[in-house]
Amino acid sequence: MATTDELIQNAREKMVKSVEHARAEFATVRTGRASASLLDRIDVDYYGTATPLRQLSTVNVPEPRMMTVQPFDPTSIKAIEKAIMESDLGLTPSNDGKLIRLPIPQLTEERRKELVKIVRNMAEEHRVAVREIRRDAMRHLKDLVDKGDVGADEEHRSEGRVQELTAEHTKQIDDLLKHKEDEVMEV
Helix (H/G/I), strand (E/B), else coil: 7:
helix
Strands (E), 99-182: 100-103
Q: Residue 143 — left, alpha, or beta (φ > 0 → left; ψ -120 to 50 → alpha)?
A: alpha
Do 156 and 8 contact (CB within 8 A), yes or no?
no
* Domains of the chain with bracketed CATH: 4-27+108-185 (1.10.132.20), 36-103 (3.30.1360.40)
Mind listing the pLDDT tens digit of every residue in the chain (187 residues)? 468 899 999 999 999 999 999 998 888 887 767 788 888 889 999 999 999 999 999 999 998 888 999 999 999 999 999 999 888 777 889 989 889 999 888 878 888 888 899 899 999 999 999 999 999 999 999 998 888 888 888 889 999 999 999 999 999 999 999 999 998 888 6
119 contacts: CB under 8 Å, gap ≥ 6: 26, 29, 177, 180, 181, 184
pTM comes to: 0.73
Strand partners, 95: 100
